[in-house]
Structure 1
Amino acid sequence: MNPSASQPPRIVDLIGVPTDVGASARGASMGPEALRVAGIRQRLEAHDLVVHDLGNVAGPANPWQPPVDGYRHLDEVVAWNQLAHDAVHASLKAGHLPIMLGGDHCLGVGSISAVARHCREVGRKLRVLWLDAHADFNTSAITPSGNIHGMPVACLCGLGPQSLTGMSGEVPAIPSKAIRQIGIRSVDAGEKRLVHEQDIEVFDMRYIDEMGMRHAMELALATLDDRTHLHVSFDVDFLDPGIAPGVATTVPGGPTYREAQLCMEMIADTGRLASLDVVELNPAFDLRNQTAELAVDLVESLFGKSTLMRK
């Protein structure tokens, strides 16, 4: 991805959103700083990118209260997502590539709502790759916990409170057919029914076991063209906890290091990546920042680092 004389280097904006208001455990609020300590800016600059670290947005504290009407911390979740939405939308409007450093995965509502708004404004199609151990398709009626980090995909598809479902200016923010979920291996019974009803394309771990990561990614990336904005929402619990312990919601049996690298390299090969979330990194559960360093390693692969000496 070296810039040519006629093509200026791409500008990447790092946007820290340090909150765990949507999560089941405290600590994801420390994720942005752990990613910075792991050298995310310097690692991306090594790939001829101009990297602006915009610092952290500032939102309400986590009140750590029980759910109300099936939602935990709804007002605070809305506030943080609006901040994420506004920062990501401004970055896209400037022609930059935003990387949201979370924070928990409830923030995917704000980030992807901003991407959806931008795509409508500029007449582009949208493809969302949701790299996660969980489907994140709970609603207030079926959630076992009320934690909104288990609800962002449902909210983006129009199932949830209007304050979240309408954040992009349109409901649903994205059509379910725009989503490809990869690495899924923990889905509540009610979620499974809704995911099937919405006809979301899911490449779960059994599919990856049987068919391989390469085949899953070929299908997930199929039909992309130069009018498609590709957004990757990377929940660090996508990875097997044996290599990535620094998350609050570990689920055994995730992608190995090489499977994850192949996933990222195939995304990079498309040349279509236009926005990114990195979420659910929880340094309180990590060992000497190894999960943050692995996450940065994988993000670097999204921008051209490869194990092959490619021509």
Structure 2
Amino acid sequence: MDFAIDKPAGHPCPNLGTTPTASPTGTPAGSGTPTGGGFGCGIHTQLRQRGFVGCTVYDCFGAGQKVAQVTFGGRDWRQAPGQAPLMFAAFATMRHLHELLWYLTQARDLPAAAPLHDRLDAAVAETQRLSDLPAGELAGVDVDAHRGSVVPLLRQASELARAKVVGRRTPYQSRSVVGKDLRRVDLRGADLRGASAVGADLRGADLTGADVTGADLRGADLRGADLRGVLFLIQSQLDAARGDAVTRLPAGFSHPAHWTVQRTHPGTDPTRAGHPRSGREAGGRAGRRSGRR
């Protein structure tokens, strides 16, 4: 379960604008003390213990800040309740646009995607333009149509980057690896776009050049894995997964606080963690890989 309570969309969480209250394990969710205002979470330091794991892995890509500070110039829905529906609609659109900007920027930074740089720059500029629209126009943006024009470009960038890793091999590709043991699968250059990898065992895996755009990594075991060269990773994917101090991450990413701190873990040779397996060690199938977008 990602959330301890159910509530209608557009309704504030009962923990919004509360102050934390000391409580023993097992205290019902939403037991902060109301303060009558503010936008802080009253149980922020206890979210996982209170059953709000989904809150700890959510990423708005800066959309909330821009909508609050730029689109609405510092006004908020408590000061202007009548504007709340428009604010919430604008935020939903902004989040999608900022997510696309993240991926486009990542694609633009790929040396292998140099042939696409002009088109990527144009896509960045158009996405930025849409995000700068006034609230009424922003809320009405056809995000699906815009995404449809951007995704093929991102896939082309991915293919160019992965080709540098894969060479003549056929990369592993799968849309569902739920609970699978992938420790002996060659995942370099894999296409894991949009894959459901919930609970997958990726201990010690080398994900160099693997595209994990939108992959669901909730509960996936990344202990000892090497993600330094992974494509289109976002921090919330790491936050939803399991890992340890040996898990190697790209620059700019951080080890989530809930990850284990042991330097080794059962079943993994720390001297091999993060390195590709081949030949018999890879199950005798040097060409096996896993991917999905």
Query: Same fold per TM (> 0.5)?
Result: no
TM-score if structure 1 supplies the norm length? 0.29
Bigger relative contact order (CA 8 A; separation at least 6): 1
Q: Which has a greater percent of helix?
A: 1
Q: Which has a greater percent of strand?
A: 1
